[in-house]
């Protein structure tokens, strides 16, 4: 299904009737609404409390000029913006269990688009309509992004960083592709060449490790970090910085970081730092699931038998995770560290939200169900479900700098939408109860998705009256 494709050469207009809109700005749910979509954009939202027509996109009314209108009766279900994972690393084996050796990815081959289809389609199945790949092969990501944006690939919207920017021997330098910057202006040409690909966010790593079981490694000098960010801004781009402790996070913000790729995990954050993130509105990615997954595999590997994982993982892989990977993580020293540090990270994220900061949902994994679990971990941290939902919608759009186009159900925004059976504003675990996913104004037909696991039983839409050329 091509994004924004037409029917018989005409724009497809979609009308979702009888929806309960999850209004993230006002933190309210509004029953009895209709959402009108023209092409790939929301044209208007009508219903109680919305004041009628909110059209403002410059598009014509639904059904004019003989346009085909697809009308869906949604039965009062809950409609919210498509979800976003702001921290993934796409690979053909996204369910590969985490290990203590960060060099596990060294030398891995670049997957093909076909290899990644089950991963990308698994995200859509789980309601994830946008993602940010926070570090990967440029030879993979730049063409993949183009395939998605051209409409040739059915996929979530792909935003990407391409290779990491780091120093020689720094975090991420062991991977197959990176952009080493050790001194400026000497290494500026290779940095500028990287920026020529127009990364959606430039990913810079700023972490000397030296905690847990990770030995001390090289780190960018602070003045070089600042110089890199200045060059990124000069190119009209934004930078997200990998950090793991408060000292480096403070220095990254001091040097102009637009976002932080992780919360502080090494120790509790100070109230002053949480307040500063809130004051400056520097978003952070939550990335709780990556650390918690070690413990999850060690203690509760049966999570792979829950519905979303059954669809998005092959039976053989689920068995491997239940057995081989379960035993591996039971003796993994890094898993022992994560058992202690993940609750610290959860509390740090809660403090940032409480202070008024921006937290965007990111799993640091590469599978759709893991983003849904990330949201559960945020809720388990004591964060209000409304704020958790914001992390995957409005705050995620802020993190990526695309809030003009994504993140809310309102006129003028891209029509990336998720319809769920029960109210997620009181319990985000209900996001697994998905009735329908829309990306770019097109209903995603579950039967068209190439998933690794069991075929879905979900229909393309909860109810669809015959609507050919019907004006509304």
Domain 83-400: CATH architecture, name and number where available: Alpha-Beta Barrel (3.20)
Averaged pLDDT, groups of 10, the chain, 472 residues long:
36 88 96 95 88 40 61 97 97 65 54 91 98 95 97 97 96 87 97 98 97 94 98 98 98 98 98 98 98 96 96 95 94 94 98 98 96 98 98 98 97 97 98 97 95 87 54 33
Summarised one tens digit per residue, pLDDT across range 206-229 is: 999 999 999 999 999 999 999 999
Radius of gyration of the chain (CA): 22
Kindly state the tokens that stand for 447. Answer: 């039967």
pLDDT at 108: 62
Strands of 9-66 (E only): list them. Answer: 13-23, 28-38, 41-46
Counting Cβ atoms within 10 Å, is residue 178 exposed (0-12), middle (13-18) or buried (19+)?
Answer: buried
Question: What fold, for 13-81+408-448?
Answer: Urease, subunit C; domain 1 (2.30.40)
Counting Cβ atoms within 10 Å, is residue 92 exposed (0-12), middle (13-18) or buried (19+)?
Answer: middle
The 10 Å CB-count burial string (b at 16+, else e) for 294-328 is bbbbbeebebbeeebbbbbbeeebbebbbeebbeb
pLDDT at 134: 96
Distance between CA atoms of residues 32 and 30, nearest Å: 7
Q: In what order do the strands lie in the sheet with 83-88?
A: 83-88, 128-133, 157-160
Residues 178, 144, 438, CA angle at the centre, nearest 5°? 130
Task: Delimit the CATH 3.20.20.140 region(s) of the chain.
Answer: 83-400
| Sequence-separated contacts (24+) of 96-104 with Cβ below 8 Å | 97/293, 97/297, 97/321, 97/325, 97/328, 97/329, 98/290, 98/293, 98/294, 98/297, 98/329, 98/334, 99/328, 99/332, 99/334, 100/213, 100/332, 100/333, 100/334, 102/174, 102/214, 103/174
CB 124 within 8 A of CB 111: no
pLDDT at 48: 81
pLDDT at 456: 87
Choose among 264, 292, 240: nearest CA to 396: 240
What's the chain's length in residues?
Answer: 472
For residue 412, CA distances in Å to 65, 199, 287, 408 come to 21, 25, 30, 10
Helix (H, G, I), strand (E, B) or coil at 33: strand
Distance between CA atoms of residues 459 and 127, nearest Å: 14
Q: What is the DSSP letter of 169?
A: T
Distance between CA atoms of residues 17 and 317, nearest Å: 40
How would you classify the pairing of strands 417-420 and 78-81? antiparallel
CB 380 within 8 A of CB 346: yes
Kindly state the tokens that stand for 187. Answer: 């290494």
* Terminal alpha carbon distance of the chain: 25
pLDDT at 62: 44
Q: Which residue has the tokens 């929301």?
A: 42
CB 245 within 8 A of CB 266: yes
Helix (H, G, I), strand (E, B) or coil at 96: coil
pLDDT at 440: 97
pLDDT at 419: 98
Distance between CA atoms of residues 263 and 243, nearest Å: 8
């Amino acid at each position: 299904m091509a994004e924004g494709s037409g029917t018989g050469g005409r724009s497809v207009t979609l009308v979702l009737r009888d929806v309960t809109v999850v209004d993230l700005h006002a933190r309210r749910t509004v029953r009895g609404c209709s959402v009108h979509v023209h092409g790939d954009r929301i044209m208007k939202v009508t219903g109680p409390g919305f004041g009628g027509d909110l059209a403002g996109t410059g598009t014509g009314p639904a059904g004019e000029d003989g346009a085909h209108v697809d009308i869906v009766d949604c039965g009062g279900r809950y409609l919210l913006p498509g979800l976003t994972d702001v921290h993934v690393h796409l690979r053909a084996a996204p369910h590969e269990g985490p290990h203590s050796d960060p060099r596990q990815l060294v030398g891995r081959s670049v997957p093909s688009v076909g290899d990644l289809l089950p991963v990308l389609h698994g995200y859509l199945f789980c309601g994830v309509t946008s993602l940010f790949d926070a570090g990967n092969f440029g030879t993979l990501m730049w063409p993949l992004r183009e395939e998605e944006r051209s409409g040739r690939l059915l996929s979530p919207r792909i935003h990407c960083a391409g290779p990491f920017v780091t120093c020689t021997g720094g975090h991420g330098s062991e991977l197959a592709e990176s952009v080493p910057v050790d001194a400026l202006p000497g290494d500026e040409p290779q940095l500028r060449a990287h920026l020529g690909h127009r990364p959606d966010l430039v990913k810079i790593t700023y972490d000397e490790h030296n905690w847990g079981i990770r030995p001390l490694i090289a780190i960018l000098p602070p003045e070089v970090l600042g110089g890199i960010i200045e060059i990124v801004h000069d190119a009209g781009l934004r930078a997200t910085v990998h950090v793991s402790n408060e000292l480096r996070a403070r220095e990254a913000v001091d040097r102009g970081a637009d976002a932080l790729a992780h919360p502080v995990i090494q120790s509790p954050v100070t109230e002053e730092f949480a307040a500063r993130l809130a004051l400056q509105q520097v978003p952070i990615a939550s990335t709780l699931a990556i650390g918690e997954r070690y413990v999850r595999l060690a203690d509760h590997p049966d999570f792979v038998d829950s519905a979303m994982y059954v669809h998005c993982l092959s039976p053989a892989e689920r068995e491997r995770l239940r057995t081989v990977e379960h035993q591996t993580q039971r003796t993994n020293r890094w898993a022992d560290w994560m058992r202690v540090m993940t609750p610290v990270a959860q509390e740090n994220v809660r403090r940032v939200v409480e202070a008024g900061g921006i937290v965007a949902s990111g799993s640091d994994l590469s599978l759709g169900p893991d983003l849904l679990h990330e949201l559960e971990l945020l809720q388990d941290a004591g964060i209000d479900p409304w704020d958790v939902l914001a992390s995957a919608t409005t705050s995620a759009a802020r993190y990526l700098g695309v809030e003009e186009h994504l993140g809310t159900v309102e006129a003028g925004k891209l029509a990336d939408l998720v319809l769920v059976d029960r109210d997620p504003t009181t319990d985000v675990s209900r996001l697994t109860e998905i009735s329908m996913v829309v990306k770019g104004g097109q209903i995603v037909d579950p039967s068209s998705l190439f998933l690794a696991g069991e075929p879905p039983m979900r229909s393309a839409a909860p109810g669809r009256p015959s609507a050919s050329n019907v004006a509304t």
